[in-house]
Amino acid sequence: MSTSLWIGRLVLGLGTVAQFILLFIALYMLLQMLPKRKQRWLHLSSLNWRTTTVSDRLLTRLRLSRSHPSFMEREALISGCGVEGDPALYIVLRRIALSVICPAAAVIIMYWRTRAGSWPSVFVVGGIIIASIMLYFDLPWLRSIHRMRSHRITKDVFQISNQLLYFAGSNLHLHTKLSRCVPFATVVQNDLQRLLAEWYHDAEEALRRFKQRLGTDDGASFVETLDSLRLHDNEEFYKLLRQRIQDYKEKLELAKESRKETTSYVLFTVAGLPIMYMFEVFLYPWVREGQQLFQSLNG
């Protein structure tokens, strides 16, 4: 098979993959725009598997340790991705999938298809291989999800902090102020509503759980500011809030510039695909004919 045909198939495959990715992103954004039903009994919504913890005996049998650096890194990333349960549950499932499920599935499929007299489908084998690679090299995409969620939380915290500044000097309780800030939140709206539902049970413990659910540095600093305002609602701590708002604004502007630079690189790469295809379709045959002509003249 000629090189030009391979290049054409490669360009066509890359274009198809890019179209599917863009279609998936568009559908996801459309689904995010649908109205969501508000949750009831927010203070009881965590009474499920999210409160289950993995026993140390099971971790020991799987040769896992909570004090290992890789375990601690995955634990921090999973918490920062918005998972409220024990991060060790994901790590245990990952170890079982890599050591038992994926190899067993590959062996069973190979044996079954061999008995049937045919080779297994490329899509099935490729799916198992891709799943194994995604689970083995999970840190890059966990960091990416954590980074995206951290940026969105910073935007929410920035909006809520700006709204809290409007209530500086008022006699309203902090709980009432936060209640009026709920419509301005998007990612942390459910967590903020749960914080307000748990507030009068134990405000300090509610703030601690809210901080744990956010799982980001900016979220932690925001919770510390709320705790300071809860204990001492005076002008000095509103100055601290203004300083935090400035820090959030600088981070958002830096992330915006970085996103623009990344987008420009992606657009530059995408713009090069039609040029490559045009070279492969129109120019490469002429170049190839010219090379053959010079070879025949030299011969």
Q: How far apart are CA 83 and CA 94, in angstroms?
A: 15
Q: Is the pLDDT of residue 48 over 70?
A: no
Residues 158 and 64 in one domain: no
- Pairwise pLDDT comparison (260 vs 91), residue with the higher score: 91
Mean pLDDT of all residues in 82-96: 82
Which range marks the domain in which residue 166 is found?
148-253
Residues 114 and 186 in one domain: no
In the structure, what pLDDT confidence band is assigned to residue 38 with cuts at 50, 70 and 90? low
Is residue 152 assigned to a domain?
yes
The reported pLDDT for the residue numbered 167 is: 78
Mean pLDDT of all residues in 28-49: 61
In the structure, what pLDDT confidence band is assigned to residue 74 with cuts at 50, 70 and 90? confident
Indicate the residue among 137, 170, 191 that finishes a domain.
137
Question: CA 240, 246, 250, 251: dihedral to nearest 10 degrees?
Answer: 40
Q: Is the pLDDT of residue 78 over 80?
A: yes
Residues 152 and 120 in one domain: no
Residues 81 and 126 in one domain: yes
The reported pLDDT for the residue numbered 238 is: 77
Share of the chain above pLDDT 90, in %: 0
- Pairwise pLDDT comparison (85 vs 246), residue with the higher score: 246
DSSP state, residue 52 = -
Q: Is the pLDDT of residue 114 over 80?
A: no
Is residue 199 assigned to a domain?
yes
Is residue 88 assigned to a domain?
yes
Average the pLDDT over each of 78-82, 168-172, 284-288, 294-298 and give the range with the smallest value: 284-288
- Pairwise pLDDT comparison (4 vs 97), residue with the higher score: 97
Question: Counting beta carbons within 10 angstroms of the beta carbon of residue 71, is it exposed (0 to 12), middle (13 to 18) or buried (19 or more)?
Answer: middle
Q: In Å, how far from its chain's centre is CA 52?
A: 23
Angle between helices 3-32 and 235-278 (to 10 degrees): 150
Is residue 217 assigned to a domain?
yes
Q: Is the pLDDT of residue 18 over 80?
A: no
Residues 177 and 216 in one domain: yes
Residues 238 and 152 in one domain: yes
Residues 174 and 218 in one domain: yes
Is residue 35 assigned to a domain?
no
What phi and psi values does residue 260 have, to the nearest 5 degrees?
A: -65, -40
Residues 224 and 187 in one domain: yes
Q: Is the pLDDT of residue 255 over 60?
A: yes
Mean pLDDT of all residues in 151-171: 84
Is residue 240 assigned to a domain?
yes
Structural domain count, the chain: 2
- Pairwise pLDDT comparison (190 vs 289), residue with the higher score: 190
Indicate the residue among 233, 253, 273 that finishes a domain.
253
Which pTM was predicted? Answer: 0.64
The reported pLDDT for the residue numbered 47 is: 47
Is residue 272 assigned to a domain?
no
Indicate the residue among 137, 161, 190 that finishes a domain.
137
Mean pLDDT of all residues in 104-122: 74
